[in-house]
Amino acid sequence: MCNVQSFIDLINKEVKPATGCTEPIAIALCVAKAKEVLDEDVEKIELLLSPNIIKNAMGVGIPGTSQVGIHIAAALGAIVGESKLGLEVLSKVKETHVNQANNIINENRIKIEVADKDCKLYIDATVIGKNNKAHVIIQGGHTDIVFISYNDDVIMDKLSEVVEVEDYKVAICIDSIYRFVLNTPFDEIKFILEGAIMNKKIALEGLNKEYGLKVGKTIEKNIQNKLIADDMKNYAIRLSAAASDARMAGCPLPVMTNSGSGNQGITATLPVVAVAEWLHKSEEELARALILSNLVAIHIKTNLGKLSALCGVIVAGIGAGCGMTYLLGGDIHNIKSTIKNMIGDVSGMICDGAKTGCALKVATVVEASFNSTILSLGDIEITKTEGIIDENIETCIKNLTCIGSKGMEETDKMILDIMISKSNK
């Protein structure tokens, strides 16, 4: 069993701020670190990227620009990126930097190839100057730099230490998470409220301005037009979708992520915030619900892997459902029922890359979370005789993650093939 500090360390590792979608930002981070090691003007950038990184980076907006994709992220990493900022590496982008980055792109100084690696999160950046070159590899996690070299001199080599699924997954379960949520002093967990403030800010930005598909903004407009009810569920949906609208369109505001994903951080946080606000819950109640939501999402995601063919928002939505169930008076039995209902509902949603359309998936999953929560509070759950649901909650989670990781490997390849064929037309 994890002790209190182990849980807190886990949250601090997996719940952190990021500016921009984390896959292209991780590319920018890798290039930025290589540029710092090179310490001279970059003449050429060579990237080897795992298919899942390409899938999630090729179509998403980059903060501080009106552009999408890998090339602009890599070029900005070389020009303005500071590796010490981690996933906020592009938080200082200005128009002049974008112009310089486009010069690099237009001069065809960036080469991108698919890495033949088993690891789904793999970024290999070589930056070449007039006289020297530097090489940096990120593998396993969005900020996990495991290899650095300068010319032929190896500065760091932790490649043999990389594990794609963290060892800590065996130490936590839904029951131990619930005990931690109930018994940990508020002062030790109130730091989680920072994420609520951060993600609410970008949600309001998405509601106030024209971003992406305007999913959240459109829901709000139709509430004002009396076509949609102004209730707790639709408040949660529009907040969450609006944050994703802004995030995916390149809004420069940071997001508190979960398991390396901004949309997962949004989905694990904002539905819970919406319910707490609607019901006038205290900060302590909100903090406990957010801890529950985030830890459940982390627990499932560590079994699934950072990137997969299964949409990660599903996992975050399961966490959000648990947090909402807690706020609405549910106990551990209800929380487990919420998880089973969610797995039985939206477990087939694929990830076809990060893009503005992700906001629709966020909206879908948040609504499913509400449905699952309401059913669980009425002691209604999908039974063990149906589909992939098992009586044991940990087996139920394992069934979902096995499908998402091993079972959908060919699906992942097919999705990427389709996306690349479109980009080559």
Q: Could you report the per-residue pLDDT of 84-99, keeping only the tens digit for each?
A: 999 999 989 999 999 9
Q: Which of 105-109, 153-157, 270-274, 416-420 has the highest mean pLDDT?
A: 270-274
User: How would you classify residue 382: left for phi > 0, otherwise alpha for psi between -120 and 50, otherwise beta?
Assistant: beta
What H or E segment, with its residue span, contains residue 263? helix 262-278
Query: Could you give the 3-state DSSP secondary structure of residue 281?
Result: coil
pLDDT at 4: 85
Q: Is the pLDDT of residue 46 over 70?
A: yes
What is the pLDDT averaged over residues 363-375? 98
Q: Which of 15-24, 64-73, 322-331 has the highest mean pLDDT?
A: 322-331
pLDDT at 254: 93
What H or E segment, with its residue span, contains residue 114? strand 110-114
- CATH no. of 21-161: 3.30.1330
160 versus 295: the higher-pLDDT residue is 295
Q: Which pairing describes strands 122-128 and 44-49: parallel, antiparallel, or unpaired?
A: antiparallel
What percent of the chain has a predicted confidence (pLDDT) above 70?
Answer: 96
What is the pLDDT averaged over residues 5-10? 91
Task: Give pTM, 2 decimals.
Answer: 0.90
**pLDDT band (50, 70, 90) for residue 8:** very high
What is the pLDDT averaged over residues 183-204? 97
Tens digit of each residue's pLDDT (9 = 90 or more) over 229-277: 999 999 999 999 999 999 999 899 999 999 989 999 999 999 999 999 9
pLDDT at 112: 93
Q: Which pairing describes strands 255-256 and 17-18: parallel, antiparallel, or unpaired?
A: antiparallel
Contact 390, 400 (CB under 8 A): no
pLDDT at 308: 82
Tens digit of each residue's pLDDT (9 = 90 or more) over 110-137: 999 999 888 889 999 999 999 999 999 9
Enter the DSSP assignment of 169: G
Nearest one of 216, 236, 319, 241 to 276, comparing CA atoms: 236
Extents of the domains making up the chain = 21-161, 168-423
pLDDT at 169: 44
What is the pLDDT averaged over residues 345-361? 93
User: How would you classify residue 120: left for phi > 0, otherwise alpha for psi between -120 and 50, otherwise beta?
Assistant: alpha
Tens digit of each residue's pLDDT (9 = 90 or more) over 370-418: 999 999 999 999 999 999 999 999 999 999 999 998 888 888 889 888 9
Hey, do 21-161 and 168-423 end up sharing a CATH topology, with the first three levels equal?
no
- Residue 377 corresponds to which amino acid? L
pLDDT at 170: 43
pLDDT at 301: 92
What is the pLDDT averaged over residues 192-203? 98
pLDDT at 168: 53
The 10 Å CB-count burial string (b at 16+, else e) for 327-365 is: bbebebebbbbbbbbbbbbbbebbbbbbbbbbbebbbbb
CA 70 from chain center: how many Å?
17
What separation in angstroms does the CA of 409 have from each of 115, 139, 193, 289, 406?
Answer: 16, 19, 36, 33, 6
pLDDT at 421: 82
Q: Name the average pLDDT for the chain.
A: 93
Choosing among 2.60.40.420, 3.30.230.10, 1.10.4100.10, 3.30.70.920, the CATH entry for 168-423 is 1.10.4100.10
